[in-house]
């Protein structure tokens, strides 16, 4: 359901995606995504900690996330790296809600990675951390 070439394999790939990627949180999952080369196949990785449950439920959660990633792979066969962290609520979630959480988190991440569909401004380095908040911390006088 997810071939080996579409999986994140090394710790370096994981830490790069989690640290420099955009983040989208939902009830069941937290999704990190980063743009990669257009020619390289898209890759997915999962983080399911012991807080989710025992080995059986962790495996079930990982399989469902892989299935959802396989659906996402049809839309984007190349160009992104995604890491999905499962939250403890994912252990008791059913398949429909887990899939909708995954899909909406991925849509939100893709909106932030591709700035304007018609804008045409192609500044590189997607996923700049949002520096705008730091700007206006100075004016509050009162």
Partner RNA sequence: UGGGACAACCAGACGGCCGCGCGCCACGCAAGUGGCUCGAGGAACGUCCGGGCUCCGCAGAGCAGGGUGGUGGGUAACGCCCACUCGGGGCAACCCGCAGGACAGUGCCACAGAAAGCAGACCGCCGCCGUGACCGCGCCGUGAGGCAGGGCGCGGCGGUAAGGGUGAAACGGUGGUGUAAGAGACCACCAGCUCCCCGGGUGACCGGGGAGGCUCGGUAAACCCCACUCGGAGCAAGGCCAGACAGGGCGCGAUCGAGGGCUGCUCGCCCGAGCGCCCGGGUAGGCCGCUGGAGGGCGUCGGCAACGGCGUCCCGAGAUGGAUGGCCGUCGCUCCCGCGCCGGCAACGGCGGGGGAGAACAGAACCCGGCGUAUCGGUUGUCCCAUCCC
Partner RNA sequence: GCCCCAGUAGCCCAAUCGGCAGAGGCAGCGGACUUAAAAUCCGCAAAGUCAGGGUUCGAGUCCCUGCUGGGGCA
Q: Where along the sequence are the contacts to RNA (CB under 7 A)?
A: 1-5, 7-11, 14, 45-47, 54-56, 59-60, 62-64, 66-67, 70, 94-95
Which CB sits closer to RNA, 21 or 45?
Answer: 45
The residue (of 8 and 103) whose beta carbon lies closer to RNA is 8
Tell me how far CA of residue 71 lies from CA of 6, 44, 56, 125, in angstroms.
Answer: 12, 12, 23, 26
Q: Give residue for tokens 């839309």.
A: 75
Give CA–CA dist 66/64, Å, rounded: 5
* 43-47 and 29-35 strand pairing: unpaired
CB of 9 to RNA, least distance (A): 5
Choice between 22 and 93, CB closer to RNA = 93
Task: Report how far residue 45's alpha carbon sits from residue 33's, in angstroms, rounded to the nearest whole number.
Answer: 10
Q: Smallest distance from the beta carbon of 62 to RNA, in angstroms? A: 6
Comparing CB distances to RNA, the nearer of 26 and 46 is 46
Q: Give min distance, CB of 112 to RNA, in A.
A: 22
Smaller CB separation from RNA, 7 or 112: 7
* Least spacing, CB of residue 135 vs RNA, in Å: 34
Least distance in Å: CB of 127 to RNA? 19
Distance from the Cα of residue 119 to its chain's centroid = 24
């Amino acid at each position: 359901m997810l071939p080996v070439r579409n999986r994140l394999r090394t710790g370096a790939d994981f830490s790069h995606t989690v640290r420099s990627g955009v983040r989208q949180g939902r009830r069941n999952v937290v999704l990190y995504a980063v743009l990669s080369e257009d020619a390289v196949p898209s890759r997915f990785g999962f983080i399911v900690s012991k807080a989710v449950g025992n080995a059986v439920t962790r495996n079930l959660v990982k399989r469902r996330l892989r299935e959802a990633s396989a659906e996402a792979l049809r839309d984007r066969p190349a160009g992104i790296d995604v890491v999905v962290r499962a939250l403890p609520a994912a252990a008791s979630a059913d398949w429909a809600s887990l899939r909708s959480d995954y899909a909406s988190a991925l849509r939100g991440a893709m909106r932030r990675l591709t700035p304007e569909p018609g804008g045409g401004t192609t500044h590189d380095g997607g996923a700049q951390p949002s520096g705008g908040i730091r700007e206006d911390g100075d004016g509050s006088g009162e």
